[in-house]
A and B are shown apart, each in its own frame.
Chain A
Amino acid sequence: MRELSAIFKDYPFVERSSVSMSITNDNRYFVSSEGSSIQQGQAYIRMGVSCSGTCTDGMQIQRYEGFDAATIDGLPADSVVVKTIHRLVGELAVLLKAPLAEPYTGPAILLNRATGVYFHEIFGHRIEGHRQKSETEGQTFAKKVNQKILPDFISVIDDPTLSEFKGEFLRGHYLYDDQGVKTEKVTVVDNGVLRNFLMSRSPVRGFPVSNAHGRKQAGLSVVSRQGNLMIRSSKELPFDSLLALLKEECRKQGKPYGLIFNDISGGFTSTGRYGPQAFKVIPLLVYKYYTDGRPMEAIRGVDIVGTPLASFEQIIATGNDYDVFNGTCGAESGSVPVSAIAPSILVASLEVEKKFKEQQKPPILPPPYKPIKTSGIY
Chain B
Amino acid sequence: MITRYSRKTIVIGIIAALLGMVSFAYAQQAGDVLFKAMQDELDRSMSQLVMENLERPYFVSYTIDDAQQLEVHANLGTLTQSNLDRGRYLSIDLRVGSYSLDNGNFVSGYSGFGADYAQLPTDNNYDAIRNQIYLQTDQVYKDALETISKKRAYLQTRVIANRPDDFLKLPTNRIIDKPEGFDLNKAKFEELAKAATDVFRDYPDIISSDLKIQGAIANQYLLNSNGTRALRGDRLYVFDLSMMGKAADGEDIFDGDRIIYNSLAAIPSISDLTAWAKGNADRMSKLIKADTLEEYIGPVVFTADAAGEFFRQLFVRSISNLPQPTYENEQMAAMIGRVGGGGGEFAEKLNRRVLPASFTVYDDPTISKVGNSSVIGGYNVDDAGNTPQKVVLVENGKLVNLLIGISPTKKIKDANGHARGAVSKLITAKPSNLVFESSEKVPYAKLKETLITLCKDVELPYGLIVKRLSDPNASSGSFAIRMGSMMMRGSGGSGAPEALSSPWEIYRVYPDGREEPVRGLQFNNVTVRILKDILQTDDQMFVYNYLLNADPEMPASIVTPSVLIEEMELKKNEEKIMKPPLLPSPLAGK
Residues of A participating in the B interface, judged by any CB pair closer than 8 Å:
2, 9, 15-16, 360-361, 363-365, 367-369
Give the interface segment out of B133-141, B326-334, B365-373. B133-141
Whole-angstrom CA separation of A59 from B134 in the bound complex: 20
- Min Cβ gap B56→A in Å is 11
B130 within 8 A of A: yes
Q: Is the CB of A364 within 8 A of B50?
A: yes
Q: Can you name 5 A-B pairs with beta carbons within 8 Å?
A: A15-B135, A361-B51, A364-B141, A367-B134, A369-B131
Q: Is the CB of A369 within 8 A of B51?
A: no
Q: Is the CB of B134 within 8 A of A365?
A: yes
Whole-angstrom CA separation of A364 from B130 in the bound complex: 15
Whole-angstrom CA separation of A16 from B118 in the bound complex: 12
Mark B130-166 against chain A: 1 for CB-CB distance below 8 A, else 0.
1100110010011000000000000000000000000
Q: Is the CB of B41 within 8 A of A368?
A: yes
Chain B minimum-CB-distance residue to A370: B127
Mark B532-575 against chain A: 1 for CB-CB distance below 8 A, else 0.
00000000000000000000000000000000000000000000
Q: Is the CB of B142 within 8 A of A361?
A: yes
Whole-angstrom CA separation of A15 from B40 in the bound complex: 19
Whole-angstrom CA separation of A287 from B142 in the bound complex: 33
Residues in A neighbouring B141, C-beta threshold 8 A: 364
Q: Which of A2, A363, A369 meets B138, CB within 8 Å?
A: A363
Q: Which of B40, B123, B138 meets A365, CB within 8 Å?
A: B138
B49 within 8 A of A: yes
Q: Is the CB of B131 within 8 A of A364?
A: no
Chain A minimum-CB-distance residue to B132: A16
Residues of B participating in the A interface, judged by any CB pair closer than 8 Å:
40-41, 44, 48-51, 123, 127, 130-131, 134-135, 138, 141-142
Q: Which of B41, B123, B130, B135 meets A363, CB within 8 Å?
A: B135
Q: Is the CB of B44 within 8 A of A365?
A: yes
Residues in B neighbouring A9, C-beta threshold 8 A: 127
Residues in B neighbouring A363, C-beta threshold 8 A: 134-135, 138
- Min Cβ gap B49→A in Å is 6
Residues in A neighbouring B134, C-beta threshold 8 A: 363, 365, 367-368
Q: Is the CB of A368 within 8 A of B44?
A: yes
- Min Cβ gap A33→B in Å is 16
Q: Is the CB of B123 within 8 A of A2?
A: yes
- Min Cβ gap B194→A in Å is 21
Q: Is the CB of B49 within 8 A of A364?
A: yes
Q: Which of A16, A361, A368 meets B130, CB within 8 Å?
A: A368
Chain A minimum-CB-distance residue to B50: A364
Whole-angstrom CA separation of A369 from B135 in the bound complex: 12
Q: Is the CB of A360 within 8 A of B142?
A: yes
Chain A minimum-CB-distance residue to B40: A368
Residues in A neighbouring B123, C-beta threshold 8 A: 2
- Min Cβ gap A112→B in Å is 35
Q: Is the CB of A369 within 8 A of B49?
A: no
Known: A360-B142, A363-B134, A368-B41. 6 other contacts (CB 8 A): A2-B123, A364-B138, A365-B134, A367-B134, A368-B44, A368-B134
Whole-angstrom CA separation of A360 from B141 in the bound complex: 12
Chain A minimum-CB-distance residue to B48: A365
Q: Which of A360, A364, A367, A369 has the most CB of B within 10 A?
A: A364
Residues in A neighbouring B127, C-beta threshold 8 A: 9, 368-369
Q: Provided the pairs A364-B51, A368-B41, A369-B127 are in contact, do residues A16 and B135 lie with their beta carbons within 8 angstroms?
A: yes
Whole-angstrom CA separation of A11 from B18 in the bound complex: 41
Whole-angstrom CA separation of A106 from B274 in the bound complex: 73
Whole-angstrom CA separation of A356 from B268 in the bound complex: 57
Whole-angstrom CA separation of A363 from B132 in the bound complex: 12
- Min Cβ gap A367→B in Å is 6
Whole-angstrom CA separation of A292 from B121 in the bound complex: 50
Whole-angstrom CA separation of A346 from B154 in the bound complex: 55
Residues in A neighbouring B49, C-beta threshold 8 A: 364-365
Q: Which of B44, B48, B130, B142 meets A369, CB within 8 Å?
A: B130
- Min Cβ gap B143→A in Å is 10
Whole-angstrom CA separation of A361 from B54 in the bound complex: 14
- Min Cβ gap A57→B in Å is 15
Whole-angstrom CA separation of A364 from B57 in the bound complex: 13
Chain B minimum-CB-distance residue to A372: B127
Whole-angstrom CA separation of A2 from B125 in the bound complex: 11
- Min Cβ gap B90→A in Å is 14
Residues in A neighbouring B138, C-beta threshold 8 A: 363-365
Whole-angstrom CA separation of A16 from B50 in the bound complex: 21
Residues in B neighbouring A367, C-beta threshold 8 A: 131, 134
- Min Cβ gap B111→A in Å is 14
Residues in A neighbouring B131, C-beta threshold 8 A: 367-369
Q: Which of B49, B130, B134 has the most CB of A within 10 A?
A: B134
Q: 10 tightest A-B contacts by CB?
A: A369-B127, A363-B138, A368-B130, A368-B134, A364-B138, A367-B131, A365-B48, A364-B51, A364-B49, A369-B131
Residues in A neighbouring B130, C-beta threshold 8 A: 368-369
- Min Cβ gap A363→B in Å is 4
- Min Cβ gap B381→A in Å is 27
- Min Cβ gap B385→A in Å is 23
Whole-angstrom CA separation of A364 from B49 in the bound complex: 7
Chain B minimum-CB-distance residue to A16: B135
- Min Cβ gap A121→B in Å is 30
Whole-angstrom CA separation of A367 from B142 in the bound complex: 17
Whole-angstrom CA separation of A365 from B135 in the bound complex: 9
- Min Cβ gap B324→A in Å is 30
Chain A minimum-CB-distance residue to B127: A369
Residues in B neighbouring A2, C-beta threshold 8 A: 123
Whole-angstrom CA separation of A186 from B221 in the bound complex: 59
Whole-angstrom CA separation of A15 from B139 in the bound complex: 12
- Min Cβ gap A50→B in Å is 15
Residues in B neighbouring A16, C-beta threshold 8 A: 135
Whole-angstrom CA separation of A367 from B40 in the bound complex: 12
Whole-angstrom CA separation of A16 from B130 in the bound complex: 13
Residues in B neighbouring A364, C-beta threshold 8 A: 49-51, 138, 141
